[in-house]
Amino acid sequence: MSAVLQVRGLSVALANGTRLVDDVSLDVGAGEIVGLVGESGSGKSMTAYAALGLFPTPHARIAGGAILLDGRDLARLTPAEWREVRGARIGMVFQDPSSFLDPLLPVGRQVAEALAAHGESRGAQARVAALLAQVELPDGVAARYPHELSGGQKQRVLIAAALAMRPRLLIADEPTTALDVSVQAGILTLLQRLRDEMGLAVLLITHDLGVIERTCARVYVMYAGQIVESGNTAALFAAPRHPYTQGLMASLLSPAVRPTTLFSIPGTVPPAADMPAGCRFHPRCPLALPDPCAARPPELTGEVRCWRAEEPATAKAWAAHGA
Amino acid sequence: MRVPPSVALAAGWLALTLLAAAFAPLLAMDPYAGGPDALLPPLSPGHWLGTDDLGRDIFAETLFGTRVSLTVGVTTALAGAVIGVAVGATAGWLGGVADAALMRLTELFQTLPRFVLALVVIALFGPGLVKVIFVIAALAWPQTARVVRASVATLRAAPFVDAARVGGMPGAALVLLEILPNVAGPVVVLAALDVATAILLEAGLGFFGLGDPNLVSWGAMLNEAQQYLRGAWWMAVFPGCAIAVTVLAFNRLGDALNAASGAR
Amino acid sequence: MAPEPLLRADNVSRQFPQRGGMFARRAWLRAVNGVSLSVAPGETVAIVGESGSGKSTLGRMLLGLLAPSSGSVSFRGEALGGLRGAAWRRFRREVQVVFQDTGASLNPRRSIGDSVAVPLRWNLGLGRAEATRRAAALLDQVGLPAGQFLGRLPHTLSGGQRQRVGIARALASDPSVVVADEPVSALDVSVRAQVLRLMRQSQAQRGLAYVFITHDLGVVRAIADRVVVMRGGKVVEAGSVDAVLANPQHEYTRALLAASGAPVAEASRR
């Protein structure tokens, strides 16, 4: 399977040198949905913005590494070249659909804008109708205004707009987080269908492990700006190797089981400006040793970034904490 | 915090006007003292900005004029702010009929033509500084009221206000202690801009002879300068520049405050 | 013998006028439609629903922030509408709230010490010095050392820290019931459990009752004794958490459970 997106050693930093993303590498192939999971302060959204050339603050910039889309390095693009790539070769869908739709225009017009922006205005109406049908919206939606649609429908419109120019890659940043639980499943199923029909490569960024489990073939786990674990979703969820991943899973609350104790990872995510020396997770890790964990930062070896990954005790890192 | 040069200049100029207003008698001669040396050009001995048609020193008049301008500017801005906040907060908090009624009142005041109002007031009650302040303040408060009303109506639904209510705060305390501190930003910005507008208005009224005839004001100076524009340009230019620069300075300050509070 | 309920809603409804333009007939939106529930001392009742279910509106009626259009809410057997003077003040002291952390649950202009002191000064009538002292003690109790946090402004705190402040504020007037409206929904997964644990601890220490409004069934299972499922303003199912989640009767409850998935948790230890 060919890799559509290849991120190699990406670093994103602020003007004062603080690194928000540190040496991140990931691949997304055609016809697969890959998950990037992390919490606030993990750098997952910054990674997405880097891949889209869309930094929300003017002070953030790519400090190193390459972002290859079908072999072409996006990190080196000029603004003019970005306008050709963004929206056409890469589609994007974000969290809150209401913020991304103009309340004053019918949604069909807004999807058509996506086409017009890249020079394809002829036959727009037919193409818009086809796109809206592809995202399972009924006839007549094109004439509706955003406030007349539900959250799920608005998100489908945005997915249609994102796919208007038949991009190779779709980046979705928390696409279901703002939606009701009963609607989420529909959107995720839609993404899976589009992946199959169009051979789309999808990078799905979220904090929700349930979403990852349902849709992603492979997953990358980010913590404090770095990838700490990656791999095949089923395997990773069955036997997570990094203590942080294990802690995340142990924190999950399921309706099926009442937990006897409410487990949580002690401590908090370190601020980007004040990273601990050595392994970034070591202040919170139950297995941390003064050497090497607190002294030297571990590399990503065999899909895990942990000095003690190979030791048998690491497989049940939180056993002493009741998880 | 980096201060843009234009803001520093504006602040500097305003500090100067303040000093001029405070120490005018020490800095210049009596502006009312006419004399035989009429219509002297600038850089004449003893009158470095020249004299007007009655021999009064232009520099002294300009300096003393700061008093009227600043007094009018600051008091009307304050009055406008107080009235605007009172009306706006009441309308925003109460909503419904009270809100509608107060907003109609606000619109009424917004549509009043300023000079007509000034003429009516002065025709009825005679000229005077207090009446000038009254007229200008009456025109200044509606804008603040609208902004405050919108902010208060929005904040009324904020969770922290509900939390304070659950914490036992009664209605009036909620408005004063929880909501108004959050509205202060735009009010201060509008007040700064109101000072500029007020100074301009006062000058306009003075120009039409509707100001206080007993006080030196830049507008009145312009009024007298009309006949002598060709011959004694200095009678108009110096007060005119003073008005322009002071108004610009307050505007710049207001912009800077706006940018500073918006950035948070 | 069942203890007398602290808070009770009897067939409450709440409607809001729909805006229909000048000539359209006034339409009414029934946000809450004929809901009854009760909260006994020390128990945790979860109100579950999605957006538009009316759960937040119901919560506000339980807090006395909104009057029902019909039906009544009672505290210790007395209808809220009839409470005056000392009885009303007692209600205000004993029924407190924790809101969702949207950034607007704390006054952005007040230090968090001041925010926590509000119920101390108004509900309990304490003087400034005493209120500050107690607010400091409360912040210590929720894991935010007063020395560092008393004077901080909300925007300098993380979401989890702000929720702790909200909990400290809710506990300030020594309540018997706390209504929590989506208190952990906006928080990271690893922070969620910390806040829930704090809430459970506080409940055990003080014998509190909770009304927990949420859309997350995992949270419901972790913390609640009874659950009320709402949809479109009405209650579709209610009962003990174990019974309803193990054996849901209504198809909406079943759909919610199915959508909540998270078999992930099963995969690990427990």
What's chain A look like in SS3? CCEEEEEEEEEEECCCCCEEEEEEEEEEECCCEEEEECCCCCCHHHHHHHHHCCCCCCCCEEEEEEEEECCEEHHHCCHHHHHHHECCCEEEECCCHHHHCCCCCCHHHHHHHHHHCCCCCCCHHHHHHHHHHHCCCCCCHHHCCHHHCCHHHHHHHHHHHHCCCCCCEEEEECCCCCCCHHHHHHHHHHHHHHHHHHCCEEEEEECCHHHHHHHCCEEEEEECCEEEEEEEHHHHHHCCCCHHHHHHHHHCCCCCCCCCCCCCCCCCCCCHHHCCCCCCCHHHCCCCCCCCCCCCCCCCECCECCCCCCCHHHHHCCHHHCC
Token look-up 């400034």 returns C128
In the complex, which subunits touch C with 3 or more CB pairs below 8 angstroms? Answer: A, B
C65-C66-C71 Cα angle (round to 5) = 130
Is the model's pLDDT at C171 over the cut of 90? yes
Q: Which residues of A touch C261 (CB under 8 A)?
A: 210, 213-214
CA distances from C133 to A55, C88, C92, C117, C205 (A): 45, 26, 22, 9, 20
Which residues of B fall below an 8 Å CB-CB distance to C?
A: 158-160, 162-169, 173, 178, 181-182
Token look-up 């700061």 returns B66
SS3 B255: helix
Average pLDDT of the segment spanning C193-197 = 90
| Class of residue C41 by CB neighbours under 10 A (exposed 0-12, middle 13-18, buried 19+) | middle
Would you call the peptide bond into A292 cis, given omega within 30 degrees of 0 as the criterion? yes
How close C231 gets to chain B, by Cα (Å)?
Answer: 23
| Distance (Å, whole) CA A170 – CA A203 | 6
pLDDT reported for residue C261 = 64
- Best mutation site among C161, C200, C268, C270 for testing chain A: the one with the most A CBs within 10 Å? C268
Nearest residue to A194 via CA among A137, A151, A154, A135: A135
Is the model's pLDDT at C12 over the cut of 90? yes
Encode pLDDT of C151-166 as tens digits.
999 988 888 899 999 9
How close C256 gets to chain B, by Cα (Å)?
Answer: 28
C174, closest residue in chain B (CA to CA): B167
Is the model's pLDDT at C236 over the cut of 90? yes
Tell me if C190 and A255 make a contact (CB, 8 A cut-off): no
Residue C107 forms contact with B (CB below 8 Å):
yes
The conformation of residue C43, written as its DSSP 8-state character, comes to -
Q: Are C20 and A149 in contact (CB under 8 A)?
A: no
- Best mutation site among A96, A179, A181 for testing chain C: the one with the most C CBs within 10 Å? A181
Token look-up 């670093």 returns A11
Q: Which residues of A touch C266 (CB under 8 A)?
A: 254, 256-257
| Distance (Å, whole) CA C231 – CA A260 | 30
- φ/ψ (deg, to 5) at B236: -100, -40
Is the model's pLDDT at C132 over the cut of 50? yes
Kindly report the number of other CB atoms within 10 A of residue B232's CB atom: 22
| Class of residue A282 by CB neighbours under 10 A (exposed 0-12, middle 13-18, buried 19+) | buried
C60, C108, C123: residue with CB nearest B167: C123
| Distance (Å, whole) CA A108 – CA A259 | 47
Encode pLDDT of B4-29 as tens digits.
888 889 989 999 888 888 888 888 88
Residue C56 forms contact with B (CB below 8 Å):
no
B166, B169, B173: residue with CB nearest C96: B166
Tell me, rounded to whole angstroms, the distance of Cα C231 from its chain centroid: 18
A182, closest residue in chain C (CA to CA): C259
Is the model's pLDDT at C21 over the cut of 60? no
How close C249 gets to chain B, by Cα (Å)?
Answer: 35
Residue C200 forms contact with A (CB below 8 Å):
yes
Amino acid at site C220: V
Residue with more model confidence, C250 or C28: C250
Kindly report the number of other CB atoms within 10 A of residue B249's CB atom: 25
Chains B, C in contact: 3+ Cβ pairs under 8 A? yes
Q: Which residues of C touch B157 (CB under 8 A)?
A: none
Interface predicted TM-score (ipTM) of this complex, two decimals: 0.88
Token look-up 């997964």 returns C189
Contact residues, C window 4-43, toward B, CB-based 8 Å cutoff: none
Is the model's pLDDT at A86 over the cut of 90? no
First-last CA distance in chain B: 14
Is the model's pLDDT at C252 over the cut of 50? yes
Tell me if B166 and C92 make a contact (CB, 8 A cut-off): yes
SS3 B134: helix
Nearest residue to A247 via CA among A268, A226, A272: A268
| Class of residue C10 by CB neighbours under 10 A (exposed 0-12, middle 13-18, buried 19+) | middle
| Distance (Å, whole) CA C268 – CA A238 | 7
How close B166 gets to chain C, by Cα (Å)?
Answer: 6
pLDDT band at A219 (very low <50, low <70, confident <90, very high): very high
Name the maximum alpha-carbon separation found in chain B. Answer: 76
pLDDT reported for residue C269 = 41
Percent of chain A with pLDDT over 70: 99
Percent of chain B with pLDDT over 70: 98
B175-B180-B183 Cα angle (round to 5) = 140
Tokens of C266: 């099963």
SS3 B90: helix
Is the model's pLDDT at B48 over the cut of 90? no
Tokens of C3: 């203890």
Residue C153 forms contact with B (CB below 8 Å):
no
Token look-up 């969820």 returns A237
Residue with more model confidence, C133 or B28: C133
| Distance (Å, whole) CA A226 – CA C260 | 29
**C52: region left, alpha or beta (phi > 0 left; psi from -120 to 50 alpha):** left
C197, closest residue in chain A (CA to CA): A262
Tokens of B192: 């700064």
Is the model's pLDDT at B261 over the cut of 50? yes
Torsion angle (degrees, nearest 10) of CA C166, C167, C168, C171:
130
Tell me if A262 and C200 make a contact (CB, 8 A cut-off): yes
In the complex, which subunits touch B with 3 or more CB pairs below 8 angstroms? Answer: C
Tokens of B258: 């706006």
Nearest residue to A204 via CA among A244, A194, C261, A237: A194
Task: Name the helix (H) or strand (E) containing B69.
Answer: helix B58-94
| Distance (Å, whole) CA B191 – CA B154 | 21
Tell me if B158 and C97 make a contact (CB, 8 A cut-off): no
Encode pLDDT of B95-137 as tens digits.
889 999 999 999 998 888 877 887 788 788 887 888 888 888 8
Tell me if B168 and C105 make a contact (CB, 8 A cut-off): no
Size of interface A-C (CB pairs under 8 A): 122
pLDDT band at B213 (very low <50, low <70, confident <90, very high): confident
pLDDT band at C268 (very low <50, low <70, confident <90, very high): very low
| Distance (Å, whole) CA C96 – CA C174 | 9
A238, closest residue in chain C (CA to CA): C267
Average pLDDT of the segment spanning A119-139 = 88
Residue C250 forms contact with A (CB below 8 Å):
no
Q: Which residues of B touch C89 (CB under 8 A)?
A: 168
Is the model's pLDDT at C20 over the cut of 90? no
A40, A238, A259: residue with CB nearest C267: A238
How close C194 gets to chain A, by Cα (Å)?
Answer: 6
pLDDT reported for residue A301 = 86
Tell me if B160 and C166 make a contact (CB, 8 A cut-off): no
SS3 C31: strand
Lay out the sheet containing A61-69: strands in order across. Answer: A19-29, A3-13, A61-69, A72-73
How close B160 gets to chain C, by Cα (Å)?
Answer: 4
- φ/ψ (deg, to 5) at B149: -60, -45
Exposure letters C183-216 (e unless 16+ CB within 10 A, then b): bbebbbbbbbbbbbbbbbebbeeeebbbbbbbbb
Tell me if B167 and C118 make a contact (CB, 8 A cut-off): yes
Q: Which residues of A touch C241 (CB under 8 A)?
A: 258
Tell me, rounded to whole angstroms, the distance of Cα C243 from its chain centroid: 23
Q: Which residues of C touch A252 (CB under 8 A)?
A: 189, 218, 262, 264-265
Nearest residue to C235 via CA among C10, C5, C16, C3: C10
Size of interface B-C (CB pairs under 8 A): 64
pLDDT band at C23 (very low <50, low <70, confident <90, very high): low
Q: Are C184 and C192 in contact (CB under 8 A)?
A: yes
Q: Are A224 and A42 in contact (CB under 8 A)?
A: yes
Average pLDDT of the segment spanning C242-250 = 91
Chains A, B in contact: 3+ Cβ pairs under 8 A? no
SS3 B242: helix
Q: Which residues of A touch C193 (CB under 8 A)?
A: 251, 253, 262-264
Tell me if C122 and B160 make a contact (CB, 8 A cut-off): no
pLDDT reported for residue A1 = 53
Lay out the sheet containing A90-93: strands in order across. Answer: A90-93, A169-173, A201-206, A33-37, A218-223, A226-232
Region of poorest pLDDT, from B50-54, B151-155, C89-93: B50-54
Which residues of A fall below an 8 Å CB-CB distance to C?
A: 39-40, 151, 180-182, 184-185, 207, 209-210, 213-214, 237-238, 240, 246-259, 262-265, 268, 316, 319, 323
Is the model's pLDDT at C262 over the cut of 60? no
When computed from its CA atoms, the radius of gyration of chain A, rounded to whole angstroms, is: 21
Residue with more model confidence, B229 or A280: A280
C117, closest residue in chain B (CA to CA): B167
CA distances from A306 to A233, A266, C197, C217, C218 (A): 19, 18, 29, 34, 30
C224, closest residue in chain A (CA to CA): A258
